[in-house]
A and B are shown apart, each in its own frame.
Chain A
Amino acid sequence: MKRVGLSGNYAVAYAVKMADVDVVAAYPITPQTTIVEKLSEFVANGELEAEYINVESEHSAMSACVGASLTGARVFTATSSQGLAYMHEVLFMASGLRTPIVMANVNRALSAPLNIWNDHSDAMAERDAGWIQLWVTSAQEAFDATLEAFKIAEDVLLPVMVNLDGYILSHTYEPVVLPDESLVREFVPSRPLQNRVSPKFAYSIGVVGPPEAYYEMKYQVVDAIEKSRKKIKDVDKEFGDKFGREYNFVNEYMMEDADYALVTMGALTGTAKAVASGLRKEGEKVGVLSIRCFRPFPKEEIVALLGDLKGVGVVDRAVTPGGPSNPLFADIATTLYEKGRRPLLQSFVAGLGGRDVPVDDFKLMFGLVKDVVKEGKSRPCVYVGLRE
């Protein structure tokens, strides 16, 4: 074990190396590039024995990953924003064909206007692709989640997307504890999955699913991601036992006796916590709930932790233009509605296109949640930090 300074992207690359992947197929895109750059370096200097496939686009990268994964190989790729969007159709094939691919998605805004900075619109646009989505809040978590992802993916035969915020996490140097490689191998042993394209079996893959079969096949994906909850929990528990860090589906901060809370994802969580801790010192009973596993959505945890609060602010770093609300808010509201729980919910949007979300913005959000509770009625979505 050693404690080093690493960027979020390098932390991912080290996890991939230690997981001893067989195939990496990727196309560079900012701010993901330094992940695959580092991996190609590992392959070139012999530290990682893997097939590194240079492709001409993200569509091909994901296609190559699907093919490689069908042979039973352990497969990794990484992308961001337009790259993820370009993979779109193949993402559904990856889940439909049940290929356990692990992908780091370094979250970046979608064009237009062209923007290389962070928001969550890329991953949100793929939330229905049948991928498990993990979201991290630090470089250490990026490392840990990537390792867990391989184990989860290969156990439930679904692809896993590890989301880390572009620049804010991907390019920030901070302490990361790297476990011994031998311990990592114990956690994710190389265990070639069945080669489904071997002539030995003569399977047909990627067949037509006509109306009398597609529905059942799609439901298998629904069922698999629902059932993955248990596996995700078990893998996380095992990770905790081995490495001393456990994450669960959500990360709760000062939630025990909270009256109000903000729900966040990714890098917004840290600053929200810092502000909550300050407000606690002023006697405000506030907490922060961060969603670590967005797909499958942690319904039980949400109901248990938010169901009895007075007010909940949900911070989306993505928008659903013309929709009834933004993606995270919609999921929180649906979850609570289904169980008949009605804390006052206030929707916020913040930090689109890499706009910094400073301490004052979080103070404003916590304050607004309190106001809304006093008024007994939530307001339309508040676009925090937007200039008129």
Chain B
Amino acid sequence: MLEIRWHGRGGQGSVTAAEILATAAINEGKFSQAFAAFGPERRGAPVLAFTRINDNEILLRTQIYEPDVVVVLDHHLSERDDISEGLKKGGILVLNSVYEPERYAKKIPNARRVATVDATGIAIKELGTPVTNTAILGALVKATGIVKLGSVEDVIRERFKTFAEKNIAAVRAAFAQTKIFEREGNM
């Protein structure tokens, strides 16, 4: 089972991203759950969301404390140390950042793989607004290969209708521009 934790701020679409990924996995025939650590929804406040993906039925109904993958939608949050809390040894980080992935790999020894992408820049360019959830999905697919890019695009098409094509452009741009650092040797 793969467990993913999403960090973002209210309004960036973290929960939607978690749901799009889960739906893409479900459409590929897998089992998946997407949920949020809920609170009253407030724009700008830090938000946590979660996705589980598995080949068999998922029984767990708890929050995720030791994620395999951490995804950060907000470039300010990417600089915070607590985003990697509980990250499994050998885990994957997918960060919204203009910097090289090495910068974070140094700080976070648990991560085997770190991916960075300027999701904010891509979102502003493709959507005209800094809603980074679709761009970061492109980076996540690049970094993990957990679902096919096409599956994500199909869900976006279904869900966003009018803004679908712009969001798909963001996904593709992010997929192309994501930089990946891979740690050598055993962990």
Contacts and interface: CB of A to CB of B under 8 A. Distances in A.
Nearest to A277: B59
A174 B19 contact: no
Interface residues of A, number: 27
Interface string B59-80: 1111101000000000000000
B32 A175 contact: yes
B36 interface: yes
A335 B61 CA distance: 29
Interface string A327-358: 00000000000000000000000000010111
B61 A267 contact: yes
B34 A172 contact: yes
A298 interface: no
Contacts of A269: 61
Of B18, B29, B33, B65, which is in contact with the most chain A CB atoms at under 10 Å from its CB?
B33
A152 B114 CA distance: 54
Contact of B26 (A5, A172, A270): A5
Contacts of B23: 4-5, 173
Contacts of B32: 5, 173-175
Interface in B9-63: 18-19, 22-23, 26-27, 29, 31-36, 38, 40, 58-63
A168 B58 contact: no
B62 A358 contact: yes
Nearest to B50: A172
A66 to B, nearest CB: 32
Contact of A274 (B18, B60, B63): B60
Interface in A172-203: 172-175
Contacts of A268: 61
A27 interface: no
A270 B61 contact: yes
A55 B71 CA distance: 42
A14 interface: no
Which label, helix, strand, loop or mixed, suits the secondary structure of the B interface?
mixed
Contacts of A169: 61
Nearest to B38: A167
Nearest to A5: B23
A171 interface: yes
B71 to A, nearest CB: 16
A172 B35 contact: yes
Given A5-B27, A174-B22, A167 B35 contact: yes
A359 interface: yes
Contacts of A171: 35-36, 38
A270 B60 contact: yes
B61 A175 contact: no
Contacts of B60: 270-271, 274, 359
Interface of A: 3-5, 31, 116-117, 167-169, 171-175, 267-271, 273-274, 277, 354, 356-359
